[in-house]
Structure 1
Amino acid sequence: MSDATAAITAYWDDAAASFDDEPDHGLRQEHTRAAWARLLRSWLPDAPADVLDAGCGTGSLSLLLAEAGHRVTGVDLAPHMVERAEAKLAAAGRAGRFLVGDAAAPPTGQGRYDAVLSRHLLWTLPDPHAALREWVARLNPGGRLVLVEGRWRATGEAGAPYVAGAESLPWQGGVTAGDLAAAVGPLVSTLHVEPLSGEAELWGGPVTDERYALIART
């Protein structure tokens, strides 16, 4: 493991204990949880589908996927995040497969998926374009790529400054919908963007930055 990867892993491991305190991370409020469940139903294929949750964190979206009847595989670089995801689904009596590894190149072998879902991960990656190509390559024909992204403050999602050297990340601080659509467009057959900034129930309150979902099909 490189020094940079070790630092990133340590950052998110340290963030795991308090990660779910954010309303859109833990989904502890029923209205927030219901809002995300509604959107996932509209974005994803009918259940049961094989869904890869790339950068699954503590597994809140993975749990919603499993509750909707999907077969979910979650991947995250941080072991403590994966431990919490496993515990979250087990406590709910739901099945899920979770792997510790680089979400940009998921360690899932030759497995193919009906959908790849990623939320607020691309800004952390040293080569987000390579990750997009990798995710599209993991999709079955007609599969869906669902990216929940935005353009926000230049700090880590946990609210603290991110790892040393993060200022050189291509999409540090997030990525605009226009830039992400330009990157994804050549890789897929269709795509559309759904603005989410005005959906206060998703975030635990009003937000003023750019937030959106990009949904593409191969």
Structure 2
Amino acid sequence: MTEPLTAAITGYWDAAAGEFDAEPDHGLRAEHTRAAWDRRLRSWAPADPADILDVGCGTGSLSALLAAAGHRVTGVDLTPRMIEQAETKLAAAGLTGRFLVGDAVSPPVGEERFGMLLSRHLVWTLPDPQAALRHWITLLRPSGRLVLVEGRWRESGQTGHPYVAGADALPWSGGVTAEALAAAVRPLVTDLRIEPLSDDTDLWGHPVDDERYALIADV
């Protein structure tokens, strides 16, 4: 990805931070939506408290649910305003989490390793998603888990605004099907399953007619 495109993408999401939580599945302001995501996360995450890396954490809504479930959460996002909101959100809820500004492709976590890596609605924005997947696997401990919540979107911006010029050249611009993502991940893991999510209206706050799913893989 060229530097101008990287800067444009960073600027796009930084500008979107102020209204990001207005989307039902971003802010989780409705109790039934928050409860639906909480149920899913608890089913995907380790039963015991674990170190979890939330890459592309946005405003920290999923990080907050994981922290409330007892996990030690580190969130990484490219945009400072998203990170500021995530820190504020967890502090207001009396929860503990660590948030870092950085590229989700190569999170600034040094030699740390995690029991689970979570990414939601991120891989379609990446210039080399397969390289990112390979690196993410190295951030997991033995028997760690990769959870990717993804889809093939009707609108690639996901915020109601046109996305940045040039982003249509990204490999998975507009999202990625479960079949294609599974094909990319399967050689990297020991076990993989797809959990369809399109029909769970509570997750999105409204009916959706595009492909949405979770890929859960163990290493």
Per the TM superposition, whether the score is higher than 0.5 is: yes
What residue is the counterpart of 2:29 in the other structure? 28
Contact 2:5 2:167 in 1 (8 A): no
Structure 2 gap segments, 5+ residues each: none
Residue by residue over 1:87-121, the C-alpha shift from the partner in whole angstroms, topping out at 9 and shown as x without a partner, is 00000010000000000110110110000000000
Does 1:81 pair with 2:112? no
* Structure 1 unpaired stretches of 5+: none
Amino acid across the alignment from 2:156: T
Q: Which amino acid aligns with 1:185?
A: R
1:3: Cα distance to partner? Answer: 1.9
Report if aligned partners of 1:54, 1:118 keep a CA contact under 8 Å in 2.
Answer: yes
Structure 1 position 32, deviation (Å)? 0.3
Q: Contact (CA 8 Å) 2:156, 2:175: kept in 1 or not?
A: no
The equivalent residue for 2:186 is: 185
For normalisation by structure 1, the TM-score amounts to 0.98
Over the matched positions of the two proteins, sequence identity in percent amounts to: 70
**How far apart are residue 81 of structure 1 and its match?**
0.2
Which residue number in structure 1 is paired with residue 48 of structure 2? Answer: 47
1:12-161 to structure 2, matched below 5 A, reads: 12-161=13-162
Whether the 8 Å contact between 1:154 and 1:172 is mirrored in structure 2 is: no
1:163-192: CA deviations, max 9, x gaps? 111010000110000000000000000000
Tell me the CA shift for residue 155 of structure 1: 2.8
CA contact (8 A) 1:123 1:173 kept: yes
User: What amino acid does structure 2 have at the position aligned with 1:63?
Assistant: A
The amino acid across from 1:128 in the alignment is P
Q: Distance in 2 between matches of 1:13 and 1:152?
A: 21
| 1:176 maps onto 2:191 in alignment | no
2-structure distance, mates of 1:67, 1:34: 12
Runs of 4+ in structure 1 over 6 Å off: none
| Number of the residue aligned with 1:2 | 3
Give the 3-state SS of the residue equivalent to 1:53 in structure 2: strand
TM-score (norm 2): 0.98
Provide, for residues 43-67 of structure 1, a one-character-per-residue CA deviation record: whole Å limited to 9, x for no partner. 1111310000000000000000000
Equivalent residue, structure 2, for 1:198:
199
Distance 1:122 1:91 in 2: 29
Structure 1 position 6, deviation (Å): 1.3
Question: Aligned partners of 2:189, 2:70: CA distance in 1, in Å?
Answer: 26
